[in-house]
Amino acid sequence: MFNIAVFVSGSGSNLQAMIDKQDTLKSKICCIISNKKDAYALIRAKNHNIPSFVVTKKGKAGEQAIIEILEQFDINLIVLAGYLRILSSELINKYRGRIINIHPSLLPKYGGAGFYGLNVHKAVIENNEKISGATVHFVEEGIDTGKIILQKQLEIEEGETPESLQIKILTNIEHNLLVDSIKLLERETL
Ligand code: GAR
């Protein structure tokens, strides 16, 4: 089983979906790390008695603080669930192949610098795309470039707005995709 740390920056609806499906996993959500002290995800963690930590520091000091937490909980899988900060190459190296991220587009489309959250869906609608979706991938040094684990798509309907598309992708795809990806990794690695 994996000892999972979930990294968050905002609402944490993906974290909530993982918590709700924790029973279906062999792995355990051991701790939450946020770079924002007012992230609603921290309240979700508290509601479920999951230890949470806020690390706002950037650079070496921030990475060191994160590594200490990961070591304290013997973490061997890091799940980035709406974590809007780039990881240092030191951290990526240390946990290579053990860091996964969820991204709200059909990567490699709409990935990279500047593509996060609602920005992704705005660009998709502006470009009149007919389909969109979400991707779970391994984290490498490039932004949103690592090997894809799972990807799922849906059709964009007439009159769709960035906000409606965001909700649709979150509820219909994202909230299952992370747990399904972890299950896939459990089957492959355990
Ligand atoms: C999700 O849509 C996730 O895919 C996206 O942020 C949102 C977080 O929602 N991540 C990125 O854009 C990363 N590039 P949540 O806090 O409700 O889980």
Distance from residue 86's CA to the centre of ligand 1 (Å): 14
Give per-residue pLDDT as tens, 159-175: 999 999 999 999 999 99
What are the residue numbers of the active site? 103
Is there an atom of ligand 1 within 6 Å of 177 CB? no
Distance from residue 134's CA to the centre of ligand 1 (Å): 10
Give CA 88 to chain center in angstroms: 16
In degrees, to the nearest 5, what angle opens at C-alpha 138 toward C-alphas 44 and 98? 75
Number of domains in the chain: 1
Domain region containing 26:
3-188
- DSSP per residue, 9-75: SS--HHHHHHHHTGGG-SSEEEEEEES-TT-HHHHHHHHTT--EEE----HHHHHHHHHHHHHHTT-
The answer to whether the pTM exceeds 0.75 is yes
Domain CATH number, residue 11: 3.40.50.170
Residue 114: how many CB atoms within 10 A of its CB? 10
Give per-residue pLDDT as tens, 112-150: 999 999 999 999 999 999 999 999 999 999 999 999 999
Is there an atom of ligand 1 within 6 Å of 133 CB? no
